[in-house]
Chains A and B, each alone.
Chain A
Amino acid sequence: MADKVLIANRGEIACRVIRACREMGLGSVAIYSDADRQAVHPWLADEAVHVGPAPSRESYLRMDRVIDAARRTGARYVHPGYGFLSENAAFREACDDAGLVFVGPPADAMRKMGTKTTARDHMIAAGVPVVPGSDGPLASSEEALAVAQRIAYPVMVKAAAGGGGKGMRLVHDPGTLRSAFEGAAREAASAFGDATIYLEKAIVRPRHIEIQVLADRHGNCIHLFERECSVQRRNQKIIEESPASHLSQATRLAMGEVAVRAAKAVSYESAGTCEFLVDPEEHFYFLEMNTRLQVEHLVTELVTGLDLVVLQLRIAMGEPLPMRQEEIGQRGHAVECRIYAEDPAAGFLPSPGPLHVYRTPKGPGVRVDDGVIEGGRVPSDYDPMIAKLAVWSETRGQAIDRSLRALHEYEIVGVSTNRTHLEQILRSEAFRAGPYDTGLVASLPPLPAKAPGDPLAMGVAALLYARETVHKEASRSSAAGWKSFALQRAVERF
Chain B
Amino acid sequence: MPRAVYVTEVGVGEVEVEILEDDGVHARVRVGGETFELALSRLPDGSLAIESGARRERWHHYVDTRGLVLADGTWQRRFTTGDPRDRWLRRGAASAKAGGGVVCAAMPGRVVRIAVAAGDIAEEGATLCVLEAMKMENDVRAPGSGRVTVISVREGESVEAGQALLTLDPASKP
Contact = CB atoms under 8 A, between A and B. Distances in A.
Asked if chains A and B come from one complex, the reply is yes
B59 A460 contact: yes
B106 interface: yes
Interface stretch (A14-22, A266-274, A348-356): A348-356
Nearest to B32: A455
A382 interface: yes
B61 interface: yes
Contact of A462 (B17, B64, B109, B136): B17
A61 to B, nearest CB: 12
Contact of B29 (A412, A423, A462): A462
A450 B75 contact: yes
Interface stretch (B38-46, B143-151, B165-173): B38-46
B68 A464 contact: yes
Given A352-B107, A380-B109, A490-B42, A463 B29 contact: yes
A419 B17 CA distance: 31
Contacts, number: 150
A357 B48 CA distance: 12
B60 A411 contact: yes
Contact of B108 (A166, A352, A410, A416): A352
A380 B79 contact: no
Given A456-B57, A459-B31, A494-B61, A466 B5 contact: yes
A465 B60 contact: no
A469 B29 contact: no
Contacts of B68: 461, 464-465
A458 interface: yes
Interface stretch (B8-16, B91-99, B118-126): B8-16
Contacts of B64: 354
> What is the interface residue range for chain A against chain B?
35 or more
Contact of B31 (A352, A354, A455, A465): A455
Given A357-B60, A465-B81, A469-B83, A350 B134 contact: yes
A413 B68 CA distance: 12
A457 B9 contact: yes
A459 B24 CA distance: 14
Given A460-B50, A465-B7, A349 B138 contact: yes
A115 B147 CA distance: 45
A494 B70 CA distance: 11
Interface in A377-409: 380-384, 407-408
A455 B33 CA distance: 10
A187 interface: yes
Contacts of B76: 413, 416
A346 to B, nearest CB: 7
A413 B19 contact: no
Residue of A381, A412, A419 most packed against chain B (CB within 10 A): A381
Given A349-B138, A467-B22, A456 B55 contact: yes
Contacts of A410: 73
Given A350-B134, A459-B29, A459-B36, A356 B60 contact: yes
A463 B27 contact: yes
25 contacts: A187-B137, A350-B109, A351-B107, A352-B133, A353-B161, A357-B47, A380-B108, A384-B136, A450-B75, A451-B75, A456-B38, A456-B52, A458-B7, A458-B9, A458-B17, A459-B31, A459-B38, A459-B52, A461-B68, A461-B79, A462-B81, A465-B7, A465-B83, A465-B86, A490-B42
Interface of A: 166, 187, 190-191, 341, 346, 349-354, 356-357, 380-384, 407-408, 410-414, 416, 419-420, 423, 450-451, 453-467, 469, 490, 493-494
Given A356-B62, A461-B17, A493-B46, 15 more contacts: A341-B134, A351-B107, A354-B64, A356-B60, A357-B60, A357-B62, A382-B134, A407-B73, A451-B75, A456-B38, A459-B31, A462-B5, A464-B48, A467-B24, A494-B63
